[in-house]
């Protein structure tokens, strides 16, 4: 059996691990990009809208923070954001139906006519500026808060490279989580079966041929993910 390597922050990691182990798979939780919290979260203001640009951002916010509970709207980029908000705060998070990206979220906000009002944008250092630029262009009162930074975990990268050299399934829900592996000179990505969300695949497609590329439409469907993995490994 191929080893399964999770390189992303995932709110249902334990459930996936249990299901894979029941089916005889070797599961490895090896985030290549460590997420380091930055103490820059604003505490002296209230916001009608909170936009979560990355699941890593919401994971780092204290679950007792009143900004989350006091807001009218919580928006996220995709299913992983939605899952973390539900798990950590027991609140709903509005996400695009299909295009899990900054552009997809902006389109949903515009198409459905949301009046954002005072907005807090939570993101990481070096994150995309598409949503920030949209808020500025529309002259929406907003605060941008970088709450984390990514730091390359070279030890985990070496472990993933070694495992992938024998053939492996790599699950990554964001571009940043898989980029170091794509850029690595120590592994042949033709040996890797990638499982990604809708927009995580662009760099993989640009990088050349891979063993296979599977898009996950529902990251809550653990049995569905396991069945897709079993289909690859037959």
Task: Catalogue all structural domains in the chain, each as residue range(s) with its CATH number.
Answer: 3-32+153-232 (3.40.50.10090), 35-150 (3.40.50.10090)
Distance CA 124, CA 217 (A): 25
Judged against a pLDDT cut of 80, whether residue 36 lies above it is answered with: yes
| Per-residue model confidence (pLDDT) at position 5 | 96
Residue 5: strand, helix, or coil: strand
Distance CA 227, CA 19 (A): 10
What's the Cα-to-Cα distance from 43 to each of 6, 62, 68, 78, rounded to whole Å? 34, 11, 11, 26
pLDDT higher for 23 or 202?
Answer: 23
**What is the pLDDT confidence band of residue 204, given thresholds at 50, 70 and 90?**
low
Average pLDDT score over residue span 49-77: 82
| Per-residue model confidence (pLDDT) at position 38 | 79
Distance CA 172, CA 67 (A): 29
Beta bridge partners of 3: 168
Q: Kindly report the CA angle at 120 between 116 and 122, in degrees rounded to 5? A: 125
What's the Cα-to-Cα distance from 29 to each of 55, 156, 165, rounded to whole Å? 17, 9, 17
**What is the pLDDT confidence band of residue 181, given thresholds at 50, 70 and 90?**
confident
Tokens of 130: 């598409």
Judged against a pLDDT cut of 70, whether residue 62 lies above it is answered with: no
The beta strands (E) that lie in 70-211 are given as 73-76, 119-124, 142-152, 168-172, 192-196
| Per-residue model confidence (pLDDT) at position 153 | 93
**What is the pLDDT confidence band of residue 10, given thresholds at 50, 70 and 90?**
confident
- The tens digit of pLDDT for each residue in 110-160 reads 999 999 999 999 998 888 899 999 999 999 999 998 888 889 999 999 999
Judged against a pLDDT cut of 80, whether residue 227 lies above it is answered with: yes
Q: What's the mean pLDDT when you consider all of the chain? A: 87
Percent of the chain residues topping a pLDDT of 70: 90
**What is the pLDDT confidence band of residue 64, given thresholds at 50, 70 and 90?**
low
| Per-residue model confidence (pLDDT) at position 17 | 95
Range with lowest mean pLDDT among 30-44, 65-79, 107-121, 162-176: 30-44
């Amino acid at each position: 059996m191929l080893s399964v390597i999770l390189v992303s922050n995932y709110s249902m990691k334990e459930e996936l691990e249990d299901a894979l182990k029941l089916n005889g798979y070797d599961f490895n939780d090896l985030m290549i990009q460590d997420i380091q919290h930055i103490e820059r979260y604003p505490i002296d203001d209230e916001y009608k809208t909170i936009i979560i640009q990355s699941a890593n951002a919401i994971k780092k916010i204290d679950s007792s923070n009143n900004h989350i509970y006091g807001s009218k709207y919580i928006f996220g980029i995709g299913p992983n954001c939605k899952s973390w908000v539900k798990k950590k705060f027991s609140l709903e998070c509005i996400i695009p139906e299909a295009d899990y990206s900054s552009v997809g979220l902006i389109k949903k906000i515009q198409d459905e006519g949301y009046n954002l009002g005072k907005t807090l944008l939570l993101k990481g250092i070096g994150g995309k500026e598409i949503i920030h630029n949209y808020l500025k262009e529309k002259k929406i009162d907003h605060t941008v808060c970088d709450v984390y930074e990514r730091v390359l975990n070279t030890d985990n990268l070496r472990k993933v490279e070694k495992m992938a050299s024998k053939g492996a399934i790599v699950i990554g829900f964001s571009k940043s989580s898989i980029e170091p592996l794509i850029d690595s000179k120590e592994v042949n990505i033709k040996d890797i079966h990638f499982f990604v969300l809708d927009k995580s695949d662009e760099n993989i497609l640009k990088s050349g041929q891979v063993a296979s590329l599977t898009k996950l439409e529902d990251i809550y469907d653990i049995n569905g993910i396991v069945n897709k993995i079993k289909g690859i490994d037959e």
